[in-house]
Amino acid sequence: MDIVSDTLLYEGKAKKVFATADPGVVRVAYKDDATAFNGLKRGQIQGKGAINNQMSNLLFAYLQEHGVPTHFIEQVSERETLVRKVRIIPVEVVVRNLAAGSFSKRLGVAEGTDLPQALVEFYYKNDELGDPLITDDHAVILGLAEREELEQLRSLALRIDHLLVSKFSDCGLLLVDFKVEFGRTPDGEIVLADEISPDTCRLWDSETRKKLDKDRFRQDLGDVEDAYQEVFARVKLACAQLPREGRSV
Ligand code: UDP
């Protein structure tokens, strides 16, 4: 497959997207740039692009094997991956297992409190508005997605949560919360898109509850690079060890 095309289609905060010879396929290149608080805080996390790309691909492959449709096609280098070209649904789907971040702040629940069940939230993906929390009715009225699609997003998000909690538990990590994005393929299928990485998940060491994710950058906790490396090393190990169907270990 031709991956040499250089036409930049889109540049986001953490990734660039390039066209390929195949109109149904794009090449994503991950950057080391980091932003937080809706772009107010900016910096670099050395090696983040390579880690997020590889870690996200391992997790997408794992989810795909367990029946979650994704945009993932093939990793082409440490920092680059070929994915199906989709139209991103402008709804950020957040799943929470423990209280943290905006949930703790908005509702006054102490960080680290166990939630009695996984919570799914929808946010309108709109930087100018600061990604506001929305209800299903908002999403339908704004024309972001149909009601049935929102049900599909909710059920996919809960399936992803279940699979990720189990995988991260094998890594000695607690999945506190995470954000995912979905896209529509040209034939209307909804697939998991974007990335799953320490940029988009809160991950704490199961024993010590040390934060091993982007909160180290957001909150100036130090050892940011080490945390990303640590998470990636654990995920690599867990993915290599887990027996997959048809593959002997
Ligand atoms: N998140 C993300 N991108 C965003 C907002 C949130 O990846 O634009 C992730 C964040 O890393 C966390 C989860 O979604 O794992 C929930 O984030 P929250 O709503 O608590 O907001 P935050 O405290 O990160 O501003």
Ligand 1 geometric centre to CA of 158 (Å) = 17
- Contact at 8 Å (CB) between 127 and 38? yes
User: Which CATH number covers residue 186?
Assistant: 3.30.470.20
Q: 62 with 111, same domain?
A: no
User: Which CATH number covers residue 12?
Assistant: 3.30.200.20
Q: 170 with 59, same domain?
A: no
Buried/exposed code over 10-40 (b: 16+ C-beta within 10 A; e: otherwise): eeeebbbbbbbeeeebbbbbbbbebbbeeee
Q: 50 with 108, same domain?
A: no
- Contact at 8 Å (CB) between 85 and 191? no
Q: 121 with 176, same domain?
A: yes
Ligand 1 geometric centre to CA of 24 (Å) = 30
Q: What is the pLDDT of residues 150-193, one digit of tens each?
A: 999 999 999 999 999 999 999 999 999 999 999 999 999 999 99
Question: 51, 84, 117 — which closes off a domain?
Answer: 84
In the prediction, which pLDDT does 247 show? 44
Mean pLDDT, range 214-222, rounded to an integer: 98
Mean pLDDT, range 18-27, rounded to an integer: 97
The model's pTM is 0.95
Judge whether 123 lies within some domain: yes
Residue 52 Cβ < 6 Å to ligand 1:
no
Residue 139 structural domain = 88-223
Residue 194 Cβ < 6 Å to ligand 1:
no
Residue 214 Cβ < 6 Å to ligand 1:
yes
Number of domains, the chain: 2
Ligand 1 geometric centre to CA of 103 (Å) = 10
Ligand 1 geometric centre to CA of 4 (Å) = 34
Judge whether 109 lies within some domain: yes
Judge whether 239 lies within some domain: no
Q: 155 with 67, same domain?
A: no
Judge whether 143 lies within some domain: yes
Residue 179 Cβ < 6 Å to ligand 1:
yes
Question: 84, 108, 143 — which closes off a domain?
Answer: 84
Ligand 1 geometric centre to CA of 214 (Å) = 9
Residue 13 Cβ < 6 Å to ligand 1:
no
- Contact at 8 Å (CB) between 237 and 55? no
Residue 102 Cβ < 6 Å to ligand 1:
yes
Q: 135 with 214, same domain?
A: yes
Q: What is the pLDDT of residues 66-114, one digit of tens each?
A: 999 999 999 999 999 999 999 999 999 999 999 999 999 999 999 999 9
Residue 182 Cβ < 6 Å to ligand 1:
no
Judge whether 242 lies within some domain: no
